Structure 1
Amino acid sequence: MTKFLLAVHVLAAIVAIGPITVAASMFPPSARKVLAEPGNAQAVSTVRLLHRICRVYAAVAVVVPVFGFATASNMGVLGDTWLIVSIALTALAAVVLIALVLPGQAAFAEGGWDAGGGEVAVGRKTTVRLAMFTGVFNLLWATVTILMIVRPGSTTGA
């Protein structure tokens, strides 16, 4: 059963978190293209699609910690330090995604830029901040992935 739970956990992480990291990383440059070319309908469609990918896969990603807890429970490692650190980093990554990345993307994707000569609600500064938050999110997930592979104190010899 542990192998099944671990396989589902790893597959869910790849299938759910992978698209978020890629789409979120692509969003700021695409948003800057919208700012540079406000009339470019394809660029606008791209940022909306990237935001939708992040939103949908964020919802799907809930299964990753669910199967992670089930796997850890089956393995008897719920109290191990590496797992507690991984859980804390995962929670922090979720907060960064939900509180910083997705709302920033939504504000931009909903047309917060200016296509004419008026005031700009979101501009280049927003895309820079969004790129930073996305980088933090990606770094947190990379750290969790490394902890899951290395597992300090593991008996796998890795």
Structure 2
Amino acid sequence: MTKFLLAVHVIAAIVAVGPVTVAASMFPPAARRAFGAPGDADALATTRLLHRICRVYAVVGVAVPVFGFATASNMGVLGDTWLIVSIVLTALAAGVLALLVLPRQSAVLETAEGNGVVEEAPGGTATAARAATVRLAMVTGIFNLLWATVTVLMIIRPGSTTGA
């Protein structure tokens, strides 16, 4: 049963978290292209699609910690430090995605569609829109770094007796 749970956990991580990290990373440059060519329907459609991928796969990604907890419980490692750190980092990554990345993507998308207002910055609206995408890229990088750290912890499992 442990092998099955671990396989589902790893597959869920690849299928759910992978697309979110890629789509979230692609969103800021796509949004900049949409801002740079206001009449370009393709650039705006790409930005919408990337945001939708992030939202949908964020929900699907809930399966990753669910099967992770089931696997850890089956393996009897719920109290191991590496797992606790991984759980905290996973919760932080989920929080960054839900509270920072997705809302900022929504705001940037509304602005690109012409429905939102960008704070004025020196240099005008275009500068403010670019600044918003730069901040979004930074927050997305933090999200991706958290997931990369969790992945490394899952592979090397400090203190593991498996020899890995």
Shorter-chain TM-score tier: over 0.9
Structure 1 distance, partners of 2:113, 2:78, is 50
Quote how far apart the aligned CAs of 1:114 are. 7.3
| Aligned partner letter, 2:6 | L
Taking only aligned residues, the RMSD between alpha carbons, in angstroms, comes to 1.3
Aligned residues: 154
CA spacing shift, 1:114–1:87, aligned 2, 3 Å = closer
Aligned to 1:85: 85
**Residues 46-81 of structure 1 deviation map (CA, whole Å, 9 limit, x = unaligned):** 000000000000000000000000000000000000
**Residues 97-119 of structure 1 deviation map (CA, whole Å, 9 limit, x = unaligned):** 00000001111223x1476xxx6
Aligned to 2:42: 42
Aligned to 1:131: 137
Aligned to 1:103: 103
The answer to whether the 8 Å contact 2:12/2:61 transfers is: yes
For structure 2, the residue ranges without an aligned partner over 5 or more in a row are: 120-127
Structure 2 distance, partners of 1:126, 1:108, is 7
Q: TM-score, normalised by structure 2?
A: 0.90
Identical amino acids, percent of aligned pairs:
75
Moved over 2 A (4+): 119-122
Structure 1 distance, partners of 2:60, 2:152, is 22
Aligned to 1:143: 149
Quote how far apart the aligned CAs of 1:7 are. 0.2
Structure 1 distance, partners of 2:93, 2:23, is 15
Q: TM-score, normalised by structure 1?
A: 0.94
Quote how far apart the aligned CAs of 1:120 are. 3.9
